[in-house]
A and B are shown apart, each in its own frame.
Chain A
Amino acid sequence: MSTRAISRLDPGDPGTKPAVSLTGVSAGYEHNVVFTRLSLDIHAGQFAGIVGPTGCGKTTLLKIILGTMPAFSGEVRVAGQAAATIRPGLVGYVPQLGSVDWSFPVTVEEVILMGLYTSGRVWPWPSREERRRVRDLAHRLGIHDCLRHHIVHTSGGQRQRAFLARALISNPRLVVLDEPTSGVDIKTQHEVLHLLGDINSEGITILLTTHDLNAVASHLPWVICFNNGIVAQGRPQDIFTADILTRTYGGDIVIVRHEGHFLIANNTPLRFKGDAQ
């Protein structure tokens, strides 16, 4: 996988085009237009996070980019290709773990192997080469110990890594993750984002959504504030201002800066039960 960092310098390579490019895209559901005339470019090699309130259309935006939902109008291109004609394996996807059926009878190894299911091999059982790739990647992500475990018998961090491994195993150019920081503790959140940073440094474009502004501020180089459209985008230190966040979330948000760290909070002071009012 370490050879991949070099290939993006090749000018003929799709990696040098914007990884994702939306032009005038409108999308939504039957009686519910979620966003209109959205234009967005995500450069190859970017590590970007989309933040915004619940129901603002983050998942919808990802579905449009991934091509699992048609746009009403506008043009969607991924690595220079129309979303419908994307080569299998070019885009890796990590769904929101809340949507996974944890009682389904598969082991961690079987989940990771699914990432190779469009590589052309027909036989049900994995080839030696496929097994080796799964083992190597599992080692890298630190989940080699639980390859044989049923998915329900794994921790939140291991689950996230297992699905990340499934997304990475086909050597994609772009990895899209829906809320990879949800449902895990602060330390695991940090580890997952750190890992994504490592993967990004090998030239793989990463796009994720999250609700965790503080994690974004400390790990991601690029943020898109979203609320039925783009409110602002840029480096977190530039755009995480009280004004922009208040426009994104519609609440009263304060930013505490302390020794170079951000802390973003709702402007309702924390009170503990029993404290004097």
Chain B
Amino acid sequence: MEILLEPLEYEFFRHALLAALMIGALCGLIGVYVILRGMSYVGHGLSHAAFGGAVAGFFLNLNFYAGAGVMGLVAALLIDRITRSGKVKLDAAIGIVTTAMFAFGVAIISQARTSGLSFEAALFGNILGITHGDLVVIGSVTAVNIAAVILLYRPLLFSTFDNEAARVFGIRTGAVHLIFSLLLTLSVIASMNVVGVTMIAATLIAPAMTARMITDSFSRMLLYACLIGAVTGVAGMYLSYIFNVASGAAIVLFGALLFCLAGLAKLAQQKFALSVTLHRHGDLIHSHPHTEAHLESGKSAEDEGFGTPKPREPARKPL
């Protein structure tokens, strides 16, 4: 308990914790759509483009968010424009657009290296120096995204599941996609300082993947991903403080750990289900869940259980 309370004495840690909590929830929520729409690489790319913008903005004496925001939005719109014709594949468009913008930032930094500036925080995340201003930005972006996901729940879900059918049913899928791209861009920019450019993709994806493991329902997946993201953010922040590692890395590692645990739990559950339903018909040993129809036919799963095989039994009549 002590170890959890002690860092709270520092204002910088309280700021960092609050930021990580909001960003975790935000990325978890948006990440559900990111993985289901196949846009993981878009998130990754946008953060790199925003980095280029942030660096350029810094040397133009602009606000961090202004530079990153402008470049991020330009990248999102450019990618949308290039892929709309259908001639260029999405991953190729992202590769060229966002890497070029990232390279632009890198070029500026390497030119000005002598100035002694470090962009390590933007690359890997930093828990020091999260200001009130940062918290306001992160809080507003989180609020806007949550509101948008609630108000656009229906068109977003339909177009994510089946874009063509959504169009036939009258959903303006082009507009929905554009709005979602903007929401993603905002989320990425808000998260940059805390998790770092290189870690954003995993921060988006991991909670959603973990949530997918534990539910089959879309609305639950949204809720779980949000909660898992928030927990991951908070836990990652503590780990970052305790072990003195970059916050982005700590958050991503903790997210990956949760994902592995969910995976193992699922595997164990399947193994268990298998051992319950494993049975034999004559020489054939196999497994399938026993439906009510099976049970009504007079045999319970147990008396055929693999643990007590009968040497021979008449073939089951076909269902």
Contacts and interface: CB of A to CB of B under 8 A. Distances in A.
Interface in A65-96: 66-68, 86-89, 91, 93, 95
Interface string B133-164: 00000000000000000110111011011101
A179 interface: no
Contacts of B154: 114, 117, 121-122, 124
The residue in B157, B215, B216, B217 that gathers the most chain A C-beta atoms within 10 A of its C-beta is B216
Nearest to B85: A30
Contacts of A111: 161
B171 interface: yes
A117 B158 contact: yes
Nearest to A153: B216
Contacts of A121: 154
Interface string A90-129: 0101010001110011110011001101100111110000
B12 interface: no
A68 B168 contact: yes
A123 B155 CA distance: 11
Contacts of A105: 36, 212, 215-218, 221
A100 B162 contact: yes
- Interface range for A: 20 to 34
B170 A86 contact: yes
Contacts of A107: 216-217
Contacts of B310: none
A95 B218 contact: no
Interface of A: 66-68, 86-89, 91, 93, 95, 99-101, 104-107, 110-111, 114-115, 117-118, 121-125, 150, 166, 170, 176
12 contacts: A66-B167, A86-B170, A89-B170, A91-B168, A95-B162, A95-B165, A104-B36, A105-B215, A105-B217, A106-B157, A110-B217, A176-B168
Given A66-B167, A125-B219, 19 more contacts: A88-B170, A89-B170, A93-B168, A95-B164, A95-B165, A104-B161, A107-B216, A107-B217, A110-B157, A114-B161, A114-B165, A117-B155, A117-B157, A117-B158, A118-B170, A118-B171, A122-B151, A123-B153, A150-B216
